[in-house]
Amino acid sequence: MDSIKYLLNDNQLPENWYNLASDLPEPLAPVLHPGTGEPVGPDDLAPLFPPALIEQEMTSERWVPIPQPVRDILLQWRCTPLYRARRLEKALDTPAKIYYKYEGVSPSGSHKPNTSVPQAFYNKEAGIKKITTETGAGQWGSSLSLACEMFGLECLVYMVKVSFGQKPYRRAFMESFGAKCIASPSETTASGRAILEKDPDCTGSLGIAISEAVEVAAQNADTSYCLGSVLNHVLLHQTIIGEEAIMQMDMAGDYPDVIVACTGGGSNFAGIAFPFMGRKLRGQQDVRIVAVEPSACPSLTKGRHAYDFGDTAHLTPLVKMHTLGSTFVPPGFHSGGLRYHGMAPMVSHALQLGMCEATSYNQLECFAAGVQFARAEGILPAPEANHAVVGAIREAERCKREGKSETILFNLCGHGHFDMQAYIDYNAGKLKDYAYPEDEIAMALAGLPSFGNS
Amino acid sequence: MDSIKYLLNDNQLPENWYNLASDLPEPLAPVLHPGTGEPVGPDDLAPLFPPALIEQEMTSERWVPIPQPVRDILLQWRCTPLYRARRLEKALDTPAKIYYKYEGVSPSGSHKPNTSVPQAFYNKEAGIKKITTETGAGQWGSSLSLACEMFGLECLVYMVKVSFGQKPYRRAFMESFGAKCIASPSETTASGRAILEKDPDCTGSLGIAISEAVEVAAQNADTSYCLGSVLNHVLLHQTIIGEEAIMQMDMAGDYPDVIVACTGGGSNFAGIAFPFMGRKLRGQQDVRIVAVEPSACPSLTKGRHAYDFGDTAHLTPLVKMHTLGSTFVPPGFHSGGLRYHGMAPMVSHALQLGMCEATSYNQLECFAAGVQFARAEGILPAPEANHAVVGAIREAERCKREGKSETILFNLCGHGHFDMQAYIDYNAGKLKDYAYPEDEIAMALAGLPSFGNS
């Protein structure tokens, strides 16, 4: 049989992350201070992040070296495999060739440790003792717990209250690695207390949990805040995925015509797509790039490209991004990693410049595609990853209609082992689609800050 | 840093399974027909198994070729990694070197697909349409569901009733791959109905579920039965683990002084240990081999080496093995894969011949070791695998006491993603140890069949 798997050796693990900022035809809009409307500098970020991460947030160097202690840990599960989905191709009867990179082999089951490990490392180097963060479905919290344990850091996770109740297994995973989990909104912060005062039954959101985690970090000198997506340095750390994929496509003697990636905050999308986008920008090789998001939280396809806060309590700086408004709370569909009101500034910028496309799918068609993929390829995807799967299947179906043998590449960013309740509900016909929350988004967008948006 | 991971290339995937029977100084005792007490022949097994598997059950050839279609599927996740547990060594402050083979990278998260894939393949080749099996915690049922889907076979899983209720996620996993799951004991079989008539609230056992699955297969010509452990051909299929490990230890420039493996039915133990045991029997290289089982279901350390039935309803042939009595129902500790009254005849025979040792641990020390391992190595083991972990840690502690730099190898047979309730209970201090069920075992042993045991 022809190959289905392309593996790299340990000595092929990338030595540098790729920074898309170095190749952008127009620079990113500056980050603004919410009080003054002026661009922020490194000093403004110092209460939250260690110097090395602030530097990475702002650098325009093309290649940023991956420290050896970080590479040593990543090597436990990297380089991750690239698969040719031959059984799925056959099931779809498509002339297209479908490849997928699989990030579910990491110890927490997703791409998130690619950034939790370096973030923990740089914080440890800077003398930080404790890290705060937020988590929705728990992928990010699990990955950061793991990384903190490896570097001997305390880890405090504000977990969106509805998930805290519904996902006890994710919580147990974090606690097994020594992290402390608090249901958000909580009484432990001023922003949490303010929300509970207005609405004691509030079930929380990522925006609220970010507010609480940022507040704790800002008030304690030995404490930093870590974010699992959106920021430039987080996207940077994920580019190791695409860098490996370029080498692996080369092993396969192939190159993608289309790259498909799901996107919530943008780090998975950036991880697989940016290194290919850079090659395109440098005139090396053309490629179509498709971002897939949930119809019920459509920041790229329906949001406004504007300055907005990253959190609900408005403690963060203002960033220019595709946003649904910082007060928008997405409906309760089963992809916690994609339930965020904004999109990474760098991904938003790429869309504005026409360097990628964006599309959205409802959850029922995502789960149908996920189960079809599982039955063909044997891996049950995370609900977030189902968005990439459906996007790739639709491209393969288009190739069949058009009689084209294109090469499709997508990133399967995680497995669904901690999301089985969603599959139980799907198998039982209990999952539903959500109407596009037009009114809620309009209301949230009406509250955009004035700085930068005049 | 020194290497922590040893990977093989696709072209190093073993081409043959290793058959310990070829090197045994004394042959296995024959399998007996329960009605006549005479040795069974291939014809007696034909209602349950396809010819190729019956041949593998009885062969004395040393090397049995792995069919190419089976290798093509195994290659999706094999060869599996061998890790050096440097962070665990450091945490234990031991002069020992600890290596572990990791089988959790398979799509169902354990070593079980190593045999479910060839079993499905041979049944498909023989024109079988449907496969029945039993499952406890769900690892085996998941792995067989996956394999059946790949070869287009129907899959009917009798799941022990208590697990059916407590492990909805495992059930959803099987159903996502198209399998049908029935809580056992059920009304669908005569053996199930007989048990429910006596005890309508019976929560089931592996022995009962085997009876139901065997009954359905025996009564339908297009239906076969598959077992996930115990039988010679199942152990044979798992030897791919140890064969890879031999090559990987060689890459590391090392060889184990001690091999530690958990054992319930014996397939994981055989998988990692038999290829090394064969080398020892052929005078190539010495090694100590330690089987670890749960104190609450101690077939190797407390059972009798005698002829017994494999199931509760006494539908199977009689096999000579370490047994606690076929009517013994183990207490409800959290390692469903180790809750079986018997031990593989080949593993039992090896213990009788002094080719390995056996020891047992209570569940609390197993979970303590599992969490210690997870915090050091980043992987949260399945409860079954925790038995191997505690065994390896105890060996490393002995090395420290004795000032010896021995090399320890164990098989981490699966991850704990579907066992998080056990970790929730452990973290909350709610798990308990079970007293050695002496009276229940004595009663079950009193009911051993007379054939072969005079």
Q: Does A251 contact chain B (CB < 8 Å)?
A: no
What DSSP state is assigned to residue A111? S
Of the candidates B114, B182, B126, the residue with the CA atom closest to the CA atom of residue B153: B126
d(CA A290, CA A272): 11
Domains of chain B by residue range: 5-12+65-109+233-446, 113-227
pLDDT band with cut points at 50, 70 and 90 for residue B162: confident
CA atoms within 13 A of residue B189's CA, in its CB half-sphere = 27
* Residue the block writes with tokens 């329906």: A302
Which pLDDT does position B101 carry in this prediction? 98
Query: Predicted ipTM?
Result: 0.92
Most confident of A436-445, B55-64, B202-211: B55-64
**The pLDDT of residue B136:** 86
CA distance B24 to chain A (A): 36
| pLDDT (mean) for A175-198 | 96
Range in A66-75, A172-181, B183-192, B445-454 with the lowest mean pLDDT: B445-454
Inter-chain CB proximity A87 and B150 less than 8 Å: yes
Cβ–Cβ contact A3 with B under 8 A = yes
Same fold, B5-12+65-109+233-446 and B113-227: yes
Q: CATH assignment of B113-227, given 3.20.20.70, 3.30.70.360, 3.40.50.1100, 3.40.50.2300?
A: 3.40.50.1100
Q: pLDDT band at residue A58, thresholds of 50, 70 and 90?
A: very high
Average model confidence (pLDDT) for chain A?
95
Q: What is the pLDDT of residues A59-100, one digit of tens each?
A: 999 999 999 999 999 999 999 999 999 999 999 999 999 999
Average pLDDT, rounded, for chain B: 95
Q: What is the DSSP letter of A40?
A: P
Q: Which residues in chain A are contacts of B72 at CB distance < 8 A?
A: 1, 4
- Partners of residue A133 on adjacent β-strands: A157
B161 neighbors B192 (Cβ within 8 angstroms):
no
Check CB contact of B11 with chain A, cutoff 8 Å.
no
**Nearest residue to B136 (alpha-carbon basis) of B294, B307, B12:** B294
B375 and A420 within 8 Å at the Cβ level: the answer is no
- Other beta carbons within 10 angstroms of residue B238's beta carbon come to 28
Nearest CA of chain B to the CA of A235: how many Å? 23
Return the CATH number of the domain spanning residue range B5-12+65-109+233-446.
3.40.50.1100
Residue A176, CB half-sphere, CA atoms under 13 Å: how many? 35
pLDDT at B40 over 80: yes
Percent of chain A residues topping a pLDDT of 90: 90
B90 touches chain A (CB under 8 A): no
Cα-based distances in Å from A280 to A76, A274, A409, A410: 31, 10, 15, 17
In this prediction, residue A60 carries a pLDDT of 96
- Which chain B residues are within 8 Å of A427, Cβ to Cβ? 172, 175-176
pLDDT of residue B398: 98
**CA pair distance A137, A134, nearest whole angstrom:** 10
Find which of A68, A116, A169 to mutate to test the B interface (most B CBs within 10 Å of its CB).
Answer: A169
Q: Is this prediction's pTM over 0.90?
A: yes
- Contacts of residue A167, defined as CB under 8 A and 6 or more positions apart, other chains included, come to A137, A138, A159, A418
How far A238 CA lies from chain B's nearest CA (Å)?
19
Tokens 């995937």, residue located? B13
Q: Which residues of B touch A379 (CB under 8 A)?
A: 107
Give the pLDDT score at B354. 97
Note which residues in 141-160 of chain B have CB less than 8 A from chain A.
Answer: 146, 149-150
Mean pLDDT in residue range B182-187: 96
Residue B15 pLDDT: 98
User: From the DSSP assignment, how many helices (H) and strands (E) are in chain B?
Assistant: 19, 15
Give Cα separations from B389 to A176, A327, B258, B289, B386 (angstroms): 16, 48, 13, 14, 5
Mean pLDDT of B298-307: 96
> What is the predicted pLDDT for the residue at A273?
98
| Average pLDDT of the segment spanning A2-21 | 94
Q: Is the CA virtual torsion B399, B400, B405, B407 positive or negative?
A: positive
d(CA A389, CA A445): 30
The answer to whether residue A1 scores a pLDDT higher than 70 is no
- Band (B441; pLDDT cuts 50, 70, 90): very high
**pLDDT surpassing 60 at residue B1:** no
Check if the beta carbon of residue B413 is closer than 8 Å to that of residue B382: yes
Residue B362's Cβ-count burial label (10 Å; 0-12, 13-18, 19+) is middle
Distance CA B38, CA A242 (A): 63
Calculate what percentage of chain B has a pLDDT beyond 70: 100
Min Cα–Cα distance to chain B from A365, Å = 15
Q: Which alpha helices (DSSP H) does A68-112 contain, by range?
A: 68-74, 86-92
pLDDT in tens, A105-137: 999 999 999 999 999 999 999 999 999 999 988
Cβ distance B3 to A10 less than 8 Å, yes or no, reads yes
Q: Which residue of A has its CA nearest to B167?
A: A420
